[in-house]
Structure 1
Amino acid sequence: MERNDFETESRTSYKRSHKKPKKRRGILRTSLLVFFILILCATGAGAYEFHKLSPSNHFDNLTAIGNPNGNYKQKSGVFNVLLIGSDARKGDSVGHTDSMILVHADLNKHKYYAMSIPRDTRIYLPGEGYTKLTSVQYISQINHGAKQGIIDTVKAVSNLTGVPINYYAETNYQGLESMVDAIGGIDMNVPFNVTLTHPWYKEDKNMTITAGTHELNGKMVTEIVHERDSVPGTDFGRQKLQSQALIAIAKKVMQPANITKLPALAQSMSKFLVATNMSTEDMVSIGLGVKSDFHPDKQIHYLQANGSSQVMFDDVLKADNDEFILDSNQLNTTVEKYFK
């Protein structure tokens, strides 16, 4: 869940990019799945001496990109990672953060807590004023480049939630489709009817996927998990679809028949990840921590940050805008219970 001089030309470009909400709001919100991609890559990297990378040793005395509570000491074998889904298309030099999911991984207890941070969350951005969280990456990229855009987004989410964040991983729509196809598709439980109102592929327009378990390829998974307008709770309904896709992927990868596919999957990591500060050793250590005792139905706990939508003045756009105001009491309670 972050320039003082913002040039007129950049501001005009920024406003123009926000005048097409239907396209922007239909962009990928599946960054939670990146966490499992990392696990897949780790499990397939067999050339390392695993005993030197046990999670309790490797994930110890970690530094944090964002750490609003500077004296907070994380336990060994525990880390926090921000999963980012960008709306930048191929060839774009800048993009908005369209999805932010904060994951707390406890490799000692084999528990993983994932909390979605709404992209429209209202924040204060130094030098700019109040705006949406999704704008931080875009503004920073314009002024400081792609990498700093990610760093500033991590810091903004850390300041918002009070959670020290050690790692980040960014994905996009093409990455999810490629990954699902690489494991031969998934059997996904769809909790409610989903009608594709803004599909990626025009031939899928107005297709309805009924509630129940379906055998899906990468294309259809990406169609389902970014649908918003037709599902209960809009963004919150979409988050439920993401969690079901994650569990389905976890189950499929852990099938014995798929173990032989993991090395090839690891070699294709660049198809799944746009950017990350996790090293190969980090990923291998994650794999060591999860592969011997991974039960996604019981161990992955999906959380949602609650709040309310309000029309408020956006200092960047210089106009009223729909923004999401987090319930600070609920957020603080969730963070204290599951992320610290």
Structure 2
Amino acid sequence: MKKKWKVILYTLLAVLIIGSGAGAYAYWKLQPSQHFQTVPVLNPANPSEAAKPAAPTKHNAFNVLLMGSDQRKGDKLGHTDSMMIAHIDLDKQMYHIISIPRDTRVYLDGYGYTKLTSVQYIVQANKGTEAGVQAAIKAIGDLTGITFNYYAQTNYWGLQAMVDALGGINMNVPFEVKLTHAWNAQNQNKVITTGSHFFDGQMVSEVVHERYSLQSGEYGRQMLQKEAISGIAKAALDPSNVSKLPELVKKVPEFLVATNLSTADMLSVGLAVKNFDPGTQLQYHQVSGEFKTMYDDILKNNNSQLVLNKEELKKLVDQYFKS
């Protein structure tokens, strides 16, 4: 759910740079190998390092936390419905993504153990939007051992607007999907067959939201989200969509609900992915786990929580997500 706006902004580079007297220097500074020599550290292992705004990167690689909220238009609060961690290695031109299921059991400072989906909601309700984002970053960092440099949050309505700005996408649906919790009443109980489909923004947001009808539940939904990312990336990189980029750029603020990525950061990432091939450069990972009935310290009851396989998670993180 993220590659699109990175790629989109690549086209803005010409507008911002070519007409400038300092264009050559600006272009050089925006080259990914130059721009990302230092990156912010959002969840330092040593709290005393929090005051440092940036740290040198190793091998031009960094981690981005992608969060999808179920917050609807007009709502002030929302649950974090999907979490993906992207490791961007600029030297190797490889992109690794791991999904962290919404029902994963995590520890929230000051509250205790709960589902990951509740972390942002409860802190946001009590301390505001930014505090909610930071709490989610810390909880996921503590769980995975991953240090985050950037974050970007969207919601399903923003996703819908972005796909529509592209004119729709081709999305592979790896298994049959029945829409049991549709956002839009006319789509309730609609069945999407296995195979390739051309979807508008509304249908993409419906499909990636579904999990109850899937045999593998949340893990199945993660696979649908992965296919949506691939479809969006391919559409955004399609030369025939160049004329749609201005409209796509216009939708970026609507799509990005919250982020610490600056305009320059996004432009530089856009340069990095200009030749991106999701078929060969994107690797997607999942971590197995076991659902257990456990006490939720926030909800004050027992509910089903996913306990991830710690050894499997550590091995995956050490291999692909350590800069």
Give the TM-score, by structure 1 length.
0.86
Report what 1:245 is aligned to. Answer: 228
Counterpart code for 2:45: P
Matches within 5 A, 1:127-138: 127-138=110-121
> 1:205 and 1:142, CA in 2 relative to 1: closer, same or farther beyond 3 A?
closer
> 1:73 and 1:332, CA in 2 relative to 1: closer, same or farther beyond 3 A?
farther
> 1:45 and 1:175, CA in 2 relative to 1: closer, same or farther beyond 3 A?
farther
The 8 Å contact of residues 168 and 198 in structure 2, kept in 1 or not, is answered as yes
Q: Distance in 2 between matches of 1:73 and 1:328?
A: 29
Matches within 5 A, 1:154-193: 154-193=137-176
Report what 1:15 is aligned to. Answer: none
Q: Distance in 2 between matches of 1:254 and 1:36?
A: 8
Report what 1:225 is aligned to. Answer: 208
> 1:182 and 1:157, CA in 2 relative to 1: closer, same or farther beyond 3 A?
same
Which digits, 9 at most, give the CA deviation of each residue in 1:153-176, with x for residues without a partner? Answer: 111111111111011111011111
- Segments of 5+ residues of structure 2 without an aligned counterpart are 18-25, 50-54
The 8 Å contact of residues 81 and 166 in structure 1, kept in 2 or not, is answered as yes
Matches within 5 A, 1:298-337: 298-337=280-319
Which digits, 9 at most, give the CA deviation of each residue in 1:210-264, with x for residues without a partner? Answer: 1111111111111111111222301111111111111111112222111232233
Report what 1:256 is aligned to. Answer: 239
SS at match of 2:92: coil
SS at match of 1:199: coil
The 8 Å contact of residues 65 and 148 in structure 2, kept in 1 or not, is answered as yes
Report what 1:36 is aligned to. Answer: 4
Per-residue deviation, 1:69: 7.0
**Partner residue of 1:91 out of 74, 87, 93:** 74
Counterpart code for 1:309: F
Matches within 5 A, 1:94-105: 94-105=77-88
**Partner residue of 2:36 out of 40, 47, 59:** 59
The 8 Å contact of residues 73 and 157 in structure 2, kept in 1 or not, is answered as no
How many residues were matched structurally?
307
Per-residue deviation, 1:287: 0.9
Give the TM-score, by structure 2 length.
0.90
SS at match of 1:287: helix
Per-residue deviation, 1:98: 1.4
Per-residue deviation, 1:76: 4.6
RMSD of equivalent CA atoms? 1.8
Counterpart code for 2:173: V
The 8 Å contact of residues 65 and 167 in structure 1, kept in 2 or not, is answered as yes
The 8 Å contact of residues 28 and 34 in structure 2, kept in 1 or not, is answered as no
Which digits, 9 at most, give the CA deviation of each residue in 1:98-155, with x for residues without a partner? Answer: 1111110112211111111111111222221111112221222122211111012111
Counterpart code for 2:312: Q
Counterpart code for 1:101: M
Counterpart code for 2:297: D
Q: Distance in 2 between matches of 1:136 and 1:239?
A: 20
Per-residue deviation, 1:73: 6.4
Per-residue deviation, 1:97: 1.3
User: After the TM superposition, which parts of structure 1 deviate over 4 Å for at least 4 consecutive aligned residues?
Assistant: 69-73
Q: Distance in 1 between matches of 2:126 and 2:188?
A: 38
Counterpart code for 1:119: R
Per-residue deviation, 1:55: 0.9
Counterpart code for 2:189: N
Report what 2:21 is aligned to. Answer: none
Counterpart code for 1:169: A
Which digits, 9 at most, give the CA deviation of each residue in 1:30-76, with x for residues without a partner? Answer: xxx03432332344343133222111111123221113378996415
> 1:68 and 1:307, CA in 2 relative to 1: closer, same or farther beyond 3 A?
farther
Q: Is residue 279 of structure 2 the alignment partner of residue 297 of structure 1?
A: yes
Counterpart code for 1:38: K
SS at match of 1:36: helix
The 8 Å contact of residues 68 and 163 in structure 1, kept in 2 or not, is answered as no
The 8 Å contact of residues 44 and 265 in structure 1, kept in 2 or not, is answered as no
Q: Distance in 2 between matches of 1:95 and 1:196?
A: 21
- Segments of 5+ residues of structure 1 without an aligned counterpart are 1-32
Q: Is residue 181 of structure 2 the alignment partner of residue 204 of structure 1?
A: no
Q: Distance in 1 between matches of 2:11 and 2:144?
A: 31
Report what 2:22 is aligned to. Answer: none
SS at match of 1:85: strand
Counterpart code for 1:133: L
SS at match of 2:171: strand
Report what 2:178 is aligned to. Answer: 195
Report what 1:22 is aligned to. Answer: none
Counterpart code for 1:37: W
Percent identical pairs in the alignment equals: 49
The 8 Å contact of residues 68 and 159 in structure 1, kept in 2 or not, is answered as no
SS at match of 1:131: strand
